[in-house]
Structure formats: structure tokens, C-alpha cells
Structure 1
């Protein structure tokens, strides 16, 4: 965020820079909170100095200076005095400008004195070394002159002749090489220009495709939220059997379309280098068990057994990105189930080696389904590729699953491999290098059950600009006894949050006017306690880190599953209310 803010400031995108700096002013970083806050105030001071808002520049400069002096941040203290000196001078407060310029001079003098002493010592050492070197050279020269004086004239004649011969040959060679070099350079420059033009055209085409797909997938989420939300609500209103069948088909189609959009967005993020692996502590066995549990129904419909073969020697506490590992196995296992009927899918996790905290684990997902021919294996990991048109028509799907797996494993410096025989099944396998945390002790149960929260009596603020989404969200809350008030934009949300007390706030991110992130930053200035859950149709440019940095407690992506929606409200809003009432 700080790097983005400084870049925005450099290219004069002051609104974006101010948004990032303000996000960092109220940061919760464990290790560098004061440093980030000081730098954020400093950035705001520079920004307002550039935009000639000198009072705001002085206010932020003073805040930065106070933090820098309290924490002995010498660099920030130097910069703060420099900015304040300039700002006070612009405001014609010359006495205050003089104070900060004197402080600046003291800091420069202290630095200069230290550097001067170092320079003098270094110069003295250099002079002494040069004197000794010159003396040694003089002595060597005298010795050589004495040894060579007897036959100097003879050697001089021979050397002169050889020297002239060599010079002549060199001159001819250099002339020829220079002619060849000039021709080669002309050819290379022409080719470079052609390659540069082709590369620029390819980059522009890729960016246009990425932006188009990102925009389309993001825009589709709003009507899709209405489709899936209304289907869910209608299914809960005791429809007739005929209606229930149609509604289930509608919900299935909505879920299918959502998965397709998510796959496209995932590929776009990978292509645009917007994705990177996190590093956090997790339990691998629980991740694999959760994946198998979530796909159990799909396996049951295909009459396929799901089997987990887990090596208990694998450390219980590992460091990596559990979410992306879940995505990898969801795609691999889901793919295996789709192409396996009346068979079995086996998920294998085996410890290969462990050296101190360095762990290498072998993973394999194998099935006895339809298999993949040798020809199809060559391009099975390409986007939108499913082997053949017949397979696509019979089994469905986007053909992006294996592409996503390959790209995600690339983030871990790993590579997916495939063995398959047509008609006998397939095996996808890879290895991962992880870190273990042997010092951690299990103090909680392995299985964490989902809690069916009683949300009755909660009162929340829903911030949503889309009228249909307002109706759907309100009805979903009414179903669980949650009362709500609606704010149609970010400015209204800030005013209502300031005027009334709510158990929690459900904040849409993408709104006209001020965004949900900006509204959250404003609310956190006067209310740091009320839980805020971001509701967003995440696009290519969205960053979950920016939501949390602004002050959100959790994020739910739209269109969301009702059970996830209620679970997040229970975890963040209800539990916060219960803890608050106990204390």
C-alpha cells in the first residue's frame, strides 16, 4: 500500500495516493505500526505541499515529526523538518519555518561531522598506502634498469620490429571487424525495432483481453446475485413440486455460471501477476478432509468412492497458503469425480523427506475413470481445453480447472505431472517444499464444526446501491430474524453509522460516489468497534489486503452462498455482540 501510494504521488494521482496513505494511518501492523503511520503522515504532508494545501501539509508533517522523535526515526525526523520548513515558509510563518530549518541544519551538521572524521581517516590511510606503493615501484624500476642496461639496444631493435608488425596486422583486422560490426548493428537494430513493435502489440492485446474479461465477469456478478438469491428465497417458501424442480434447475445454472466466472477471474489474475502465495500456519490433513467433504455429494451422484490416504508422519503444523492448496485439490479431485462413474478417486499425501524444518511432500490424485489419450495429454493443461468436443458436450465444464492448477502450482515453484491410459484412469501428481513448525503444540481439536448461529434480534446497517440487491439481502436477513436499515451510498452510510448504533455493518465495496473502502475509513475515524463485513464482487484490481487495511473485519464475495453469509454474520457480528455484553 505504501509503495502504491508513493507511485500514485509521483504520477500525480493524488486521490489514489491519499486513499492509500489514509489507509495506513490507522494500520494494525504488528511489527511496523509506528513506522508505517509516520510514513503515511509524511506522504500526506508531501501530497498537500504539492497541491498547495499548506495547512493540511503542516498538520500531517507535525504528526509525522512527533512519531519520528518519539521512536528515534532519524530519516523521517529529517524529512519532516524539511517539509515543515517549506510549508511554514509558504504560509509566511517565517519564525516557525526558521525553527525547523535550524533543526534541519543541526541534523545535517551532526551527519557532516561524522562523515568528515571518516573521510579524514580514509584519506590518511590512502595517502600512506599510495606513498608506500610508489616507493616500491621506484625501487623495482631501478633494479630492472640495472639488469637490462647491458643488452638494451639489441632488444630494442627486435621489439620495435615485432611491435610494428603486430600494429600493422591489428590495424587490418580492426578495419575488417569494424565493417562487419557496422553491418551487423544495422541488421540488429532493424530486427529489434520489429520485435519491439510486435511485443507492444501483443502486450496491448493481452491487456485488452484481460481488462475485458475482468470487466465482463465483474459486471455479471450483480445480476447473478439476483438470480441465485431469488432462487434461494423461493426455494424456502414451500413451492410446489413442479416449481421446486424448476427452481433447483435455476439455482444449478446460477451456480454453474458463478463457477465459470470465478475460473475466468482466477486465470486473469494469474496472467496479470496479481496473485501471490501467502505463508501462514495450517493443518494439511484438515485442508484435504474439507475438500473431500465438500465434494462428497458430487461423488455420491456418480456412485464414486472418495478415499484419502494420508501419511501420519507429515508434521501437523505446516507453513504455506492453505486457500490456494484447497483450490488446487478442489480442481483436481472435482475433475477426477466428473470423469469417473461407479469407480473410486484416491487422494494421496506422503512425506518424502524432512530435514529440520524443511519438508517435501508428495501429492497424487488418481482415478479409474475414462482416462486421457496420449495425444490429448499434450495440451490438456491449456485454457478451455478438455481433450475433445465430445467430452465437453458429455461432461460439461469450462476446461479451466487444470490450467488453474498448473498456474497455482507455479506460485509454489512446483510442476503438475500426468500419467494416464485411455479407458483405465488418470493420475495427477506433484511435489511441494514446505516448512514445518515442530515447536507448535496442538491445543484445539482437529475438527472444527460449523456453528448454526441464532441471529434473531441483531440489528445491522446494509450499505448497497443496487435496488434488487437491497431487497434480496433484506429478505435473507429477515429469514433469520435480523432487522436492518438500508444506506444507498457511501456518504449516507457514514452519516447513519455516526447517528445510530448498529450491531454490525454489511458494506458493499463498489458504489458510485465514495467506495465502500473509503466509507469504512471514514467510519473507523469515529467508530473502531462495530464489526464491518465487506460484500464485494471482487474484480481484477481489488485487493483483500486493502479491505482489511481500511478497517473491515471480514470479506464475503458476491454472489454468496446463504450458509456462508449467515456464518460470517455469526462469527463477526453475533460473537462480537455476545463478548461485548459479557464484558
Structure 2
């Protein structure tokens, strides 16, 4: 009964306990009614007073010790002693021919005490029938009682015997149910995979299951004499203890992951849940302990694997940045010299050679850019820059960029924007251009004749928000149906011969997919081998409502030969070839420049002359471009206030951010593209002319 009293805590269980006590109370009431009958119907009843007092005392003990095993046994023993003592009394009186009806009544009362403590259904029924019949017959054959008293007494004995049997039957039935529930709960607790420890509110253990015993390596009698704090690796501070106690009192539970100690002093990770149970005026704590050593070990392995993966990603990014810088630096010289040669008088053979150099350099640069873009997308370093832009200008920029490739392949490059599509948007135009450029470049690569067409329309429009759908259709070689599902995978082309024939890394479409996903859209393809392909992507965007149209600033038109004329220019560059390339390019724009090979020379040159514009490399010996820039901008009296443009082989967005954060006004990545250089110089002139 003890375990049941600790475990049963729900309302249903409490109601059953109250029912059980009610049955016990009715049993006591029946006994008192017996006493009432005999006290008032019998004239000489002084001999029964002691018997009734003893019976009432035993019944009261039974009521107030319903679930206490030791007291219950005491009641049982006292009742048995009472029964046998009164039985011996009757036998002795009978032997001495001194039997009286009062002694028989004492026997009945003694039996009532027995029925309270151990009244089994079968035994109680036999005793009640036997002594009920004998009692009624004994009363019936009394000669000194009138018929009315006999009738009342016999009826009372019969009714009260039946009532007492019903009460005993109900109480015993309930005891059997409680015993079944107790055994069921004990079995359930013993079969659970969790260790169960039951303590008082101070944490002293007095009940466990076999799992807990096995988990901690103690014998049952050993662990049940310990405090739970002994099983913890580290003892709680007073503050931690108070906090835990308050949480248990407020929420009736507490749980956490802690380290526990076995008997052999070995440690293990555990999840411990503590539940507060209040029953019968007492408080118990039920500890549920789960061994999570394997899980914690797996978590640690995952964390280590994550750290290693992050370190590998950092190493890969660093490696790619270094390789990009090392490749772009000589490429700047190759492309710059090729552009310079193209502006000289060349024979047809020489012109062909120069075009081959330029085309090969451009292809190599495209491959480098694709690898870098893929690396950034894969590492999650790409971010969106949502700004107002013109859809028409985005499409025109892509067409302008790809028109030369289309002309070289004799392929028509066309576009159409649906009339119901807003032209002023808030989106990331750079990402859209990159996606379209990759798709158009891919289409031109596999189209030898016909057309490549860009179609744009708004879908699922709701107020100002809608999906912008782009279709890039070509009349090229198409994609086999079995290969169509793999076209967006990294380093994938329709077959290996495609790479050999058309070139490329197989990263372009994978980059497109990552960019589209970044913009909250989808991309898919339709194709039929030999009849061309259609690549479709949609991105979520919104319409930009202009509050007012401001007139654009129009610079005076100048020829390339006059863009830098009259300005004092300094080139900070440590690579000799890149120095020569920069000088040739700037000379073509009407400028002459001085050279500084590192940051210190740059500072010294600025002390000697107030330069209007400085093209600053970042990675230089002795002092890099970033430090030189900060020193120049911090001391305007010594160095003037030049317009500093980064001209570096760094190609990542982080490189641009670092340069701009240092105070540089613009950023040009090597190899130097003339359009980008003209744009940077135009910004400089715009600032000067304002």
C-alpha cells in the first residue's frame, strides 16, 4: 500500500481513497448501531461496556491508519486476540454451566473487530451467517423477553448483519482493485527504461526501480539509504538549490541535463526530471533519470564535425580568395596588353592572335568568377540588396553585355516585357542580372543559329507585391529528357562531350538556382532534344512607387581621350606588369600618372604632390593599401584629400566592403574592365564638377 500512496496522485485515485474511507466509516457506524441496539434493549449490559470500548478503539485505529501496513497488522492481531479471548470465555462459561446470552453478544462484538481488520469476503460471510442465525435463534428462545423486543432485536441483528456484509464486500472489492493497481504500477515502473527514484522533500531515497539500481550500480538496500545529492557529480550551491526548490514548488516539476556518478565513481550524462507529489499530507519527489551518454556523445561529435566543416569552409574560402588574387593579377596584365595591342595597327594574323588572347582570357575570367560565385553561394555569404531599380534597364544591361557574343555566333538576341508588368521595382537588380546573364550565356553557348529570347511578366500580383517571371528560350541543341532533372546540379552538363565541345565549369545553372532560392523564388527548365530549351525562374518582388521624379545629373559629354586630362594621378601598384597596363589604360583616357610601389612610397608621393585621384592596390609590401588610405585620410594637411579608388585582385564582396570601410570611394576588381573603369572615373568627375 505504501507505493500506491506515493504514486497515486490523480483526482480519480483520490476519489477512490475517499470512497474507501467512507466504507470504513459505515463499518464503524454498523458496529455502533450494534452497541446501540444492545445497550437500549438489554437491561443488564454493564459486562459489554469494555468489549464495546475495545471494539470502538480498534475500529477507530482502522479508520485513521487505512494505508499504514504496520498499524494494519497491529489491528489484525488485536482483533484476533479479542476474538480468541472471548471465545475461550464462552467455552469456559459453557463448561461451568454459566453460559448467558450476554457472553454470546460479546462474541459477536469481538467478531466485528475481526471483520474490520481482516474481513475477507468468504470468512466474513460465513461468520455473519453463522453468528447472525445463532444470534437470532438465541434471542428467539429467550423466555424473559416479550415478542416485540425479540422481533426488534432479531430484525436489527439481521439487517445490521446484511449491512455489515455489504460494507465489508465493498471495502474488500476496493482493496483488491487497489492491490491490482499497486501491482500494475509497480510492474509498469519496473519495466520502464527510465530509472525511478522516490525521495522525501529533502532528497532521501526510500524507493527505486530495478533500472535505477542497475543504472547506478548499487544494491537496493544501499541506494535506498542515500540522499540523491550523493549521486550528483557536483553539489549544488545554496543559490542553485534555492532556485531548484522554488521551481519545484511553483511548477510542481524540474528538469535538466546533469552529470551523475555511479557507485564505481564513473560518470554519465543524464536527463533528470523531478515531479512533486502531495498525497495524504505528505510530499514526495519522483526522480526520472534517463542515461543520455550516447546522445551527448553524438551531439559532441556533431559539434566537432560542424566545427571542422566550418574550418574547412573558411580554409576553402581563403584558398579561393588567394588563388583568385594570384590568377587575376597576371590576367590583368594579359588582358591589358591585349587591349593595348588591339588599339595599334595590326596585321590580320596579329589581330587574330590578339582576339584569341582576349577571348581565352575572358573565358578564363568567366570560369574564375563562376567558381567564386559558387563558393560564396555554397557558404551562405551571399546577401540580398533590395533597392529601387528599373526592370527595363536591367534587361537592357543584360542585352548590351551579351550582344557581342550573340553577334559573333550570328544568333538573334531579343526580349519582351509584358505590358501589365510594372517597370519600377524594389529588388536586387545585380542578382537578377547575374541570373539572366548566366542563362543567356548558357543559351548562346548551345545555340549555333536562330534566336535567344527573354520574356518577362508579372505573376500572382497582389497589390504591390508579385512574382516576376523570366523565361529564357533558345533554339539550340536542347537537353535529353533523362538529363533534364540534373541540369541544376553542380559540375553537371548533359554529358561529358558537352564540356569538351562547349567548355564551361558546369556551375552556371547551379549558381542560378542558389541565387533564385536566395530571392525566394523557383527555377525550372523545359527542353526537347534538338529543338531548344526554355529556362524559367520567378522571384518575389514589389512595385516601386516614385514619390517624385528628380532630374538626373547630366555630365558634359567627354571623349575617352579627355576623361582624365588635367588631373594629377597616382598609381599605387607593386606589380611591374600591372603598372605598365595601368599607365597604358590611363593614357588612353587622357591621363598621365606617377607610380608608387608600396604604401610608404604612396605616403611620400602624397607629401610631395596633392593628387586628385589615386588608384590604390590593396596587397603591397611594407605597407598595404588599406593602412595607407587611412593615414592619408586622417592627415589632410599633409596629404591633401585625394579621391581614392581601390584597384585590387580581390573579387569578393567582403573585399569591396573592407576597401570602402577604410575610406576608399570606389572599387575596381582586376582584371580591369574598361566599362567599370569609365564608370568609376565618371563618379569622380561628377563629384568634382558639382
In 2, Cα distance between equivalents of 1:524 and 1:294: 36
**Match of residue 458, structure 1, among 562, 567, 572:** 567
Q: Residue by residue, what CA displacement relative to the aligned partner does 1:48-73 show, whole Å, maximum 9, x if unpaired?
A: xxxxxxxxxxxxxxxxxxxxxxxxxx
CA drift of 1:304 comes to: 1.7
Q: 1:448 to 1:332 in 2, by over 3 A?
A: farther
Q: 1:298 to 1:418 in 2, by over 3 A?
A: same
Residues 522, 537 of structure 2: 8 Å contact kept: yes
Q: 1:524 to 1:197 in 2, by over 3 A?
A: closer
In 2, Cα distance between equivalents of 1:449 and 1:399: 44
Secondary structure class of the residue paired with 2:406 = helix
Residues 313, 379 of structure 2: 8 Å contact kept: no
Q: Runs of 5+ in structure 2 lacking a partner? A: 1-17, 27-62, 67-170, 196-210, 216-289
Matched, 1:177 2:192: yes
Q: Which has the higher helix share?
A: 1
CA drift of 1:208 comes to: 4.2
Matched, 1:505 2:520: no
Which residue of 2 is the match for residue 562 of structure 1? 674
Q: Residue by residue, what CA displacement relative to the aligned partner does 1:193-215 show, whole Å, maximum 9, x if unpaired?
A: 66666666655555544433332
In 2, Cα distance between equivalents of 1:515 and 1:166: 81
Which residue of 2 is the match for residue 536 of structure 1? 648
In 2, Cα distance between equivalents of 1:153 and 1:206: 78
Q: 1:403 to 1:500 in 2, by over 3 A?
A: same
Residues 367, 425 of structure 1: 8 Å contact kept: yes
CA drift of 1:324 comes to: 1.2
**Match of residue 374, structure 1, among 448, 459, 481:** 481
Q: 1:523 to 1:447 in 2, by over 3 A?
A: closer
Residues 319, 437 of structure 1: 8 Å contact kept: yes
Instruction: Give the alignment's Cα RMSD to 1 decimal.
Output: 3.4
Residues 523, 537 of structure 2: 8 Å contact kept: yes
CA drift of 1:192 comes to: 5.3
Matched, 1:520 2:629: yes
Q: 1:574 to 1:205 in 2, by over 3 A?
A: closer
Residues 503, 573 of structure 1: 8 Å contact kept: no
Q: 1:447 to 1:501 in 2, by over 3 A?
A: closer
Question: With structure 2 as the length reference, what TM-score do the two structures score?
Answer: 0.57
Which residue of 1 is the match for residue 115 of structure 2? none
Which residue of 1 is the match for residue 685 of structure 2? 574
- Within 5 Å, give how 1:307-386 maps onto structure 2: 307-386=414-493
Secondary structure class of the residue paired with 2:192 = helix
Q: Residue by residue, what CA displacement relative to the aligned partner does 1:393-418 show, whole Å, maximum 9, x if unpaired?
A: 22222222111111111211222111
Q: How many residues align structurally?
A: 434
Which residue of 2 is the match for residue 471 of structure 1? 580
Q: Residue by residue, what CA displacement relative to the aligned partner does 1:68-120 show, whole Å, maximum 9, x if unpaired?
A: xxxxxxxxxxxxxxxxxxxxxxxxxxxxxxxxxxxxxxxxxxxxxxxxxxxxx
* Structure exhibiting the larger radius of gyration computed from Cα positions: 2
Q: 1:352 to 1:448 in 2, by over 3 A?
A: farther
Q: Residue by residue, what CA displacement relative to the aligned partner does 1:428-470 show, whole Å, maximum 9, x if unpaired?
A: 1122111222243444589999964422222211111222211
Deviates more, 1:211-220 or 1:272-281: 211-220
- Within 5 Å, give how 1:160-559 maps onto structure 2: 165-178=180-193, 185=292, 188=295, 205-443=312-550, 452-453=559-560, 454-455=562-563, 456-527=565-636, 529-540=641-652, 542-559=654-671
CA drift of 1:285 comes to: 1.3
In 1, Cα distance between equivalents of 2:434 and 2:384: 12
Q: 1:218 to 1:375 in 2, by over 3 A?
A: farther
CA drift of 1:184 comes to: 8.3
Question: With structure 1 as the length reference, what TM-score do the two structures score?
Answer: 0.67
Q: 1:449 to 1:383 in 2, by over 3 A?
A: farther
Q: 1:240 to 1:187 in 2, by over 3 A?
A: same
CA drift of 1:563 comes to: 3.8
CA drift of 1:178 comes to: 2.2
In 2, Cα distance between equivalents of 1:235 and 1:271: 38
Secondary structure class of the residue paired with 2:375 = helix
Q: 1:541 to 1:160 in 2, by over 3 A?
A: farther
In 1, Cα distance between equivalents of 2:436 and 2:24: 83
Q: Residue by residue, what CA displacement relative to the aligned partner does 1:26-68 show, whole Å, maximum 9, x if unpaired?
A: xxxxxxxxxxxxxxxxxxxxxxxxxxxxxxxxxxxxxxxxxxx
In 2, Cα distance between equivalents of 1:451 and 1:325: 31
In 1, Cα distance between equivalents of 2:342 and 2:193: 82
In 1, Cα distance between equivalents of 2:675 and 2:537: 33
Secondary structure class of the residue paired with 2:504 = coil
Q: 1:191 to 1:470 in 2, by over 3 A?
A: same
Secondary structure class of the residue paired with 2:490 = coil
In 1, Cα distance between equivalents of 2:458 and 2:554: 22
Which residue of 2 is the match for residue 40 of structure 1? none
Residues 324, 650 of structure 2: 8 Å contact kept: no
Q: Runs of 5+ in structure 1 lacking a partner? A: 1-145
Residues 498, 526 of structure 1: 8 Å contact kept: no
Residues 331, 671 of structure 2: 8 Å contact kept: yes
CA drift of 1:221 comes to: 0.8
Residues 274, 540 of structure 1: 8 Å contact kept: no
Q: Residue by residue, what CA displacement relative to the aligned partner does 1:221-252 show, whole Å, maximum 9, x if unpaired?
A: 11111111111112222233222221221121
